[in-house]
């Protein structure tokens, strides 16, 4: 009987269309499926109870899916290097398979595992349609601007679905292994803040199907309109697939393929353009992953290093007001409360609150980036960093620093009937529509809602001056 091999699940919590798992299954050796709860990540100041709960739910789901194949998921705790070595010792595993992750932390961790494992490690590209290093300029350099990256990315042939290797493979008998059950959030010393959406492969595919049935055709117009309830079954302007893509409960090939099929079904031109716009967003996801891979300094500082000299304000009270949704700007407060209450925030709202923090309050984007990581179920080091640096004007092809969002006009445009504000800012529920976006303009504003933290016009001038000094 051949020695077993380990499949190490990381950001690929699914059985289907999983490149490394399929390769392991195809090797003919029996598979040991394992996930390692990395203490470094659990204890990190960027960790999020909401995201951890979604991950734990996803592990339970994966375990249940594996049970359908007569196996189960081993969930170990510790540092991956030690946990994998121990598992290898206990099972006599001959090889290790996993899908690559491209963040600086993941690469360092994986290099340590490879050095220590003492057997072949087989790694695969799976997280993106086109991995870092495969989208390069004519000078063989990574792109630093989105539009040319996208042009090149679009022309590359897209990988096919990898399909389902389960029928051909088999799993190792784990009966003799005494492993602890999947811990609860409380076991990890964390406390639940929000109820995440249903986790796992089936939930991801159902969400994809729902979005592709209709909403994708209106994505071009509807994607910027703010909505409150990301996890409900209602049709939304955007897909709300981000947590599933974050943990690989669905593959980029599956979502891309579904979009291409929707493209074929689309009749009016507008529908086809909407699908293109959605694919464009998938491309942003890949772009930022490439940026973090090729320019790891962005994890700590500005992509454009001159902005590291910017004099950010040290305003703890204002930062706390932003975090808790008490800035006096209804759309900013609604968005920050959406994050706290649901673990997610609409993309337009992310841009509005990020602009408000970095421009109106002139507070360092890294503080906002960390707060997002502490709360977002979809918190992803690359997309989050890219989104923050874009909004702050310190990033790749960031909006020029002089383009500063006006929170009131953004609010009027993207929450025209103020439903989003009314949902999250109940203090303003009785305010007439005309004043909801700027309640301070009323003769007698509601007493239980704070006045605006800053005057946007003055704050804008202050930000322009500060950016100009280093820009
Ligand atoms: C300040 C800021 C922080 C952000 N932090 C994150 C983050 O931590 N994790 C995250 O996944 N996205 C992040 N984004 C990008 C974007 O807001 C979310 O991906 C999107 O809101 C998720 O909703 P959706 O799944 O309905 O997206 P859809 O509009 O349906 O888009 C489909 C998918 O494309 C990807 N995507 C969409 N827009 C972007 C983008 N601008 N950059 C990168 N990928 C994108 C996501 O995987 C998303 O699920 C951030 C944006 C900003 C401005």
pLDDT in tens, 223-254: 999 999 999 988 899 999 999 999 999 999 99
- Residue pLDDT, tens place only, 348-384: 999 999 999 999 999 999 999 999 999 999 999 999 9
The pLDDT of residue 2 is 87
Same domain, 57 and 139: no
- Asked if 173 is an active-site residue, the reply is no
Tell me, in angstroms, the distance from the centre of ligand 1 to residue 203's CA: 19
User: 279 exposed, middle or buried (CB, 10 Å; 0-12, 13-18, 19+)?
Assistant: buried
Q: Are residues 154 and 277 in the same domain?
A: yes
Are 154 and 219 contained in the same domain? yes
Which pLDDT tens digit goes with each residue over 419-456? 999 999 999 999 999 899 999 999 999 999 999 999 99
Q: What is the helix (H) or strand (E) element at residue 339, kind and residue range?
A: helix 330-342
Distance CA 8, CA 110 (A): 11
- Measured CA to CA in angstroms, residue 354 lies from 366, 394, 455 at distances of 10, 12, 17
| SS3 label, residue 119 | coil
| pLDDT score at 439 | 98
**Phi, psi (deg, nearest 5) at residue 141:** -115, 155
Record the tokens describing residue 97, joined without a space.
């398979």
Residue 284: CB within 6 Å of ligand 1? yes
Give the 3-state secondary structure of residue 74.
strand
Q: Please tell me whether residues 79 and 155 are part of one structural domain.
A: no
366-375 b/e (C-beta count within 10 Å ≥ 16 → b): bbbbebbbbb
CA gap 76, 87 in Å, rounded? 9
Tokens linked to 89: 């010792």
Domain for residue 187, yes or no?
no
Asked whether the predicted pLDDT for residue 168 surpasses 90, the reply is no
Q: Catalytic residue at 273?
A: no
8 is catalytic: no
Q: Rounded to the nearest whole angstrom, what is the distance from the C-alpha of residue 432 to the centroid of ligand 1? A: 32
The alpha carbon of 267 and the centre of ligand 1 are apart by a number of angstroms equal to 27
| Residue in 285, 373, 395 to alter for ligand 1 test, most ligand atoms within 8 A of Cβ | 285
Check if 231 has its Cβ closer than 6 Å to any atom of ligand 1.
Answer: no
Domain contains 190: no
Please indicate, yes or no, if residue 443 is contained in any of the structural domains. yes
Asked whether residue 345 falls in the same domain as residue 450, the answer is yes
pLDDT digits (tens, 9 = 90+) for 111-125: 999 999 998 999 999
- Domain of 18? 5-126
223 lines ligand 1 (CB under 6 A): yes
- On the question of pLDDT at 49 being above 90, the answer is yes
Task: Please report the pLDDT score of residue 465 as a whole number.
Answer: 96
Q: Is position 153 annotated as part of the catalytic site?
A: no
pLDDT at residue 3 tops 90: yes
Average pLDDT over residues 130-155: 97
φ, ψ of residue 278 in degrees (nearest 5)? -70, -40
State the distance from the centre of ligand 1 to the C-alpha of 83, rounded, in angstroms. 32
C-alpha 282/C-alpha 253 separation (Å) is 11
DSSP state for residue 231 in the 8-state scheme? T
Does 146 share its domain with 230? yes
Structural contact between residues 255 and 241, judged by C-beta atoms closer than 8 angstroms:
yes
Minimal CA–CA distance to 185: which of 64, 66, 79, 57? 57
pTM score over 0.95: yes
For ligand 1, the distance from its centroid to the CA atom of residue 449, given in whole angstroms, is 30
Q: How far is CA 83 from CA 78, 79, 324, in A?
A: 6, 6, 39
- CATH number for the domain including 284? 1.25.40.80
Is residue 247 domain-shared with residue 327, that is, in the same domain?
Answer: no
In this prediction, residue 401 carries a pLDDT of: 77
Tell which of 266, 294, 322 closes a domain: 294
- Residue 135 in domain: yes
Q: Any catalytic annotation for residue 231?
A: no
- Tell me, what CATH number does 442's domain have? 1.10.579.10
Selecting among 193, 273, 280, 312, the annotated active-site residue is 312
Report whether residue 13 contacts ligand 1, using a CB cutoff of 6 Å: no
Over 90: is that where the pLDDT of 192 sits? no
pLDDT in tens, 213-224: 999 999 999 999
Q: Which of 182, 249, 254, 171 has the alpha carbon at shortest distance from 14?
A: 249
Instruction: Give backbone dihedrals phi and psi of 367, rounded to 5 degrees, phi first.
Output: -70, -40
Instruction: With H, G, I as helix, E, B as strand and everything else as coil, classify residue 6.
Output: strand
Q: What is the pLDDT of residue 398?
A: 64
Catalytic choice (284, 406, 427, 440):
284
DSSP 196: P
Burial of 233 (0-12, 13-18, 19+ CB in 10 A): exposed
From the CA of 135, how far away is ligand 1's center (Å)?
A: 21
Establish if 102 belongs to a structural domain: yes
Q: Is 279 a member of any domain?
A: yes
Q: What is the largest CA-CA distance in the chain?
A: 82
242 lines ligand 1 (CB under 6 A): yes
With respect to residue 155, please indicate whether it lies within any of the assigned structural domains. Answer: yes
Atom 4 of ligand 1: nearest residue by CA position: 384
The per-residue pLDDT for range 401-421, each reduced to its tens digit, is 788 999 999 999 999 999 999
Q: Are residues 115 and 132 in the same domain?
A: no
Number of domains in the chain: 3
**132, 277: one domain:** yes
């Amino acid at each position: 009987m051949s020695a077993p091999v380990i499949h190490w699940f990381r950001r690929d919590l699914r059985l289907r269309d999983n490149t490394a798992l399929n390769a392991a299954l195809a090797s003919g050796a029996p598979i040991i499926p394992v996930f390692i709860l990395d203490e470094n990540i659990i204890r990190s100041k960027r960790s999020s109870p909401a995201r951890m709960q979604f991950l734990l739910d996803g592990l339970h789901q994966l375990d249940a899916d594996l049970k359908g194949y007569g196996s189960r998921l081993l969930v170990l705790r510790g540092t991956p290097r030690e946990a994998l070595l121990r598992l290898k010792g206990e099972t006599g595993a001959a090889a290790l398979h996993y899908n690559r992750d491209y963040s600086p932390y993941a690469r360092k961790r994986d290099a340590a595992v490879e050095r220590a494992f003492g057997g072949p490690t087989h790694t695969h590209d799976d997280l993106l349609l086109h991995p870092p290093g495969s989208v390069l300029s004519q000078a063989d350099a990574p792109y630093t601007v989105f539009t040319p990256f996208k042009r090149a990315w679009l022309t590359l042939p897209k990988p096919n679905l990898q399909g389902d290797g389960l029928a051909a493979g088999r799993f190792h008998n784990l009966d003799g292994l005494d492993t602890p059950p999947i811990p609860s959030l409380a076991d990890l010393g964390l406390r639940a803040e929000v109820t995440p959406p249903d986790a796992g492969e089936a939930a991801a595919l159902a969400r994809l199907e729902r979005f592709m049935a209709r909403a994708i055709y209106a994505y071009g117009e509807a994607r910027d309109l703010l909505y409150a309830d990301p996890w409900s079954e209602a049709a939304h302007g955007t897909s709300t697939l981000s947590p599933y893509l974050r943990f690989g409960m669905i593959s980029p090939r599956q979502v891309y393929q579904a979009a291409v099929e929707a493209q074929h079904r689309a009749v009016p031109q507008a529908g086809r353009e909407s699908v293109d716009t959605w694919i464009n967003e998938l491309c942003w996801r890949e772009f930022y992953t490439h940026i973090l891979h090729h320019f790891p300094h962005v994890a700590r500082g500005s992509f454009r290093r001159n902005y590291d000299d910017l004099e950010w304000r040290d305003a703890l009270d204002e930062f706390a007001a932003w975090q808790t949704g008490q800035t006096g700007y209804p759309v900013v407060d609604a968005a920050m409360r959406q994050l706290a209450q649901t673990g997610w925030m609409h993309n337009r709202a992310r841009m509005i609150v990020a602009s408000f923090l970095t421009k109106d309050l002139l507070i360092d984007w890294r503080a906002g980036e960390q707060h997002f990581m502490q709360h977002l179920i979809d918190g992803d080091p690359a997309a989050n960093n890219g989104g923050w640096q874009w909004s702050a004007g310190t990033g790749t092809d960031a909006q020029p620093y002089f383009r500063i969002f006006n929170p009131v006009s953004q609010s009027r445009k993207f929450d025209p009937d103020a439903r989003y504000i009314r949902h999250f800012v109940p203090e303003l529920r009785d305010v007439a529509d005309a004043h909801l976006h700027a309640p301070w303009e009323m003769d007698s504003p509601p007493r239980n809602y704070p006045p605006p933290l800053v005057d946007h016009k003055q704050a804008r001038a202050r930000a322009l001056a500060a950016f100009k000094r280093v820009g």
